[in-house]
Structures are given as C-alpha cells and as structure tokens.
Homo-oligomer: A and B are copies of this chain.
Amino acid sequence: MSSEFSFIQQIRQRALQASPNLSLGIGDDTAIWREQAGRERLITTDLLIENVHFKLDYTPLACLGHKALAVSLSDIAAMGGKPEFALLSLGLPKSQLANPAWQDFFDGYFALARKHGVTLIGGDTSSSPDTLVVDSIVIGSCASGKAIRRSGAQVGDAIYVTGELGAAATGLELLLRGEKYDATTNDLRQAAIRAHLLPEPRLAFAQRLNSLAGAMMDVSDGLAQDLAHICEESDVDAIIDFDAVPIADCVRLVRPVKEEAFSLGISGGEDYELLLTTNPANEAALQNLATKCQLRLTRIGEIIVRRLPQAKPQLFLRTADSVDLLTVKGYDHFCR
C-alpha cells in the first residue's frame, strides 16, 4: 500500500456489495442512492481519535474497525432504524499506511457491515501528522414518522434499559491497567474487555419495537447523562431505582463495593445499550420482544412531571429508604 490511491483501490474492492437503492458507490465525487416515497432517512457521524477514544497499544485494529462502525450503527438502532449505507474517513499517520494490519481493521469493519446489510459507499483518506483519526458515517431509514426520538417520553412512562451497564467502563479500566484482549478466553475479565472493544449494536430489537417505545436513545455517555438528555428533550424529570439498574457482573472486578459499582454502571460510557421509555401497559409485549431477541430488558424507573417547567431536568434515585437527587456525572469528551 504505497499511496493513497492504491489504499483506496483496496477499500473499493472490499466494499463491492449490491444494495437495493444504491445507484453509485465509491469512485466518483459523491455516492448516489435512490429515494423512496414514504421513507425517512437517518444519518449519524462519530469521530474516533487516537489517544482520546482509543489507544493502539490495547486496541487490535480488527476491534477498532468493528467499533468504528458499531458506534454509528448504535445511533441508527436508537431511532428504531434500519442501517443501509456507510462512509468512512481515515486520517493515517505514515507509519500506519505501511502497516499490513490495516487489513485487520477492514476485516473487523466489513464483518460487522455484512452482518447488518450495510454497504460502504464513500469516504475520504488522508495522511495525519501523528494521530490516527476515524470518522464513521452511517445512513439508515425508517417508515415516515416512525423514528423513535428522545423527545417522546411522557409522564407515567416506565423506563427500560437493554443488557447490563458498566461492562465497557470496566473493560476500559482493565485495559488501562495493562490487560490484553484475548479472543480465546471466556471469563469475566474478557467479557468486560469485549464489551469495551466489540460493542454489539441492538439493531434487531430496535427495529421490531415499532410503537412500543415512546422515547429512545443509546447509552453512550453513561445512563444518568443519557437519561438526562431524554428528560431535557421531553421536558420531564425521571426517577430510577437503585436496586433495579442492571449492573454487569464484571463491574465487581474493579468496584467491589455495591454503591461504587452502581456509580460506575450509571456514569461509565460506551455501553451502547438502548434506553427507552414507554407506557407501562406495553411491559408484556416489550419483554416478549426482548426474549425473542435474546436480550435482557430491565425496568429501571419512571418518568415524572418536571417541577419547574423552565429548569434543567432532574434525575432522582430511589432506594429502600429514600428518594434523593442524583448528581449527573457522565462523559464529556473535553473534560478528561
């Protein structure tokens, strides 16, 4: 891979994939697809920067390729959408251009793309002085008016979360302590590391929700902060139950005290689970769907009326003894 053009040529070869509405993929000034009446388009972009979002000493390139696509697919899932197309922009330090392991990056990327029927249709490639930069763009669609927005939460809705929380933050902590990803070992440590390096977007579940969810988003910045986003956009407050929140088993590896495990579980980022609200009458149908999708789904609280209409949203934490205001701490990419 001696130049930008041969590098792009290789990506183009691997990207070749038929897609029903695609008119033109990689190789022109723009990609082109045909629009369909009655559909809405969804688009999301996620910037991953070396030494901010990942370090190469603990991130195998195959995992990075998977994760770059997974985080954007998770945004499409969060709207209840079906992903279709992707674009990928890469800024590569010269040392990386000559690195044969870039095939691993594309192995990881295209394996996940194939799994979810996503076709790479464009992107950009450039050198970068020191830092590896990946910008992942995914385009999906849904029936008109059916996207599940953050603004749809109603007072009295129950709040649900898929899977378990805190595993990705635990995995990151283990990796930062020097542990390594090992695909051949199945233990709690590797479960945590996999949760961080190889998140699985909850697309199958999300696409079958239809009207079962009022509001939804993915948990990328930590449950507390993300629930605050739903409350902000929906003009409501929320209560969550300390004992209900599903903290992943592996969190005890790094936070043996229950309160500390809870804190990491609701503030650690990058779980890429789905957080949704719905009328409690939908509980049985929702659990049924989760079972079909082999996904744990947990009711963790409820949406309440905002006390001061113009105020910032408030989250409350209910334990056996009390209800307290929950201080929202989450993930700010500028404040680490």
What is the interface of chain A, defined by CB distance below 8 A to chain B? 3-5, 7, 23-24, 27-47, 49-53, 75-76, 78-79, 81, 85, 87, 89-92, 94, 97, 121-131, 133, 135, 137, 139-141, 144, 147, 149-151, 217-218, 233, 332-336
In the bound assembly, the distance between CA atoms of A141 and B23 in angstroms comes to 13
A129 touching B334 by the CB < 8 A rule? no
- Number of this chain's copies in the assembly equals 2
Q: Closest Cβ of chain B: how far from A29's Cβ, in Å?
A: 4
Residues of B within 8 A of A140 (CB): 30
In the bound assembly, the distance between CA atoms of A215 and B14 in angstroms comes to 26
B217 touching A28 by the CB < 8 A rule? yes
**Smallest CB-CB A-B distances: 9 pairs:** A35-B35, A37-B37, A29-B78, A30-B42, A135-B135, A29-B75, A30-B44, A47-B89, A47-B124
Residues of B within 8 A of A43 (CB): 30-31, 85, 87, 121-122, 139
Give the residue among A123, A125, A127, A129 with the most B Cβ atoms within 10 A: A127
Residues of B within 8 A of A91 (CB): 47, 49, 52, 133
From the candidates B7, B23, B27, B334, name the one contacting A127 in the complex (CB within 8 A).
Answer: B334
A37 touching B35 by the CB < 8 A rule? yes
A29 touching B334 by the CB < 8 A rule? no
Give the residue among A32, A79, A121, A133 with the most B Cβ atoms within 10 A: A32
Assuming the A-B contacts A89-B45, A94-B334, are A147 and B32 also in contact, with contact meaning beta carbons closer than 8 angstroms in the complex?
yes
Assuming the A-B contacts A4-B334, A333-B127, are A31 and B39 also in contact, with contact meaning beta carbons closer than 8 angstroms in the complex?
no
A217 touching B29 by the CB < 8 A rule? yes
A45 touching B124 by the CB < 8 A rule? yes
Q: Closest Cβ of chain B: how far from A8's Cβ, in Å?
A: 10
B333 touching A27 by the CB < 8 A rule? no
Instruction: Add 13 more A-B contacts to A29-B75, A30-B43, A32-B42 (CB < 8 A).
Output: A3-B335, A23-B147, A24-B147, A30-B81, A33-B41, A37-B37, A52-B128, A89-B135, A125-B333, A126-B333, A127-B334, A127-B336, A133-B133
B36 touching A332 by the CB < 8 A rule? no
Cβ-closest chain B residue relative to A225: B5
From the candidates B47, B87, B150, name the one contacting A133 in the complex (CB within 8 A).
Answer: B47
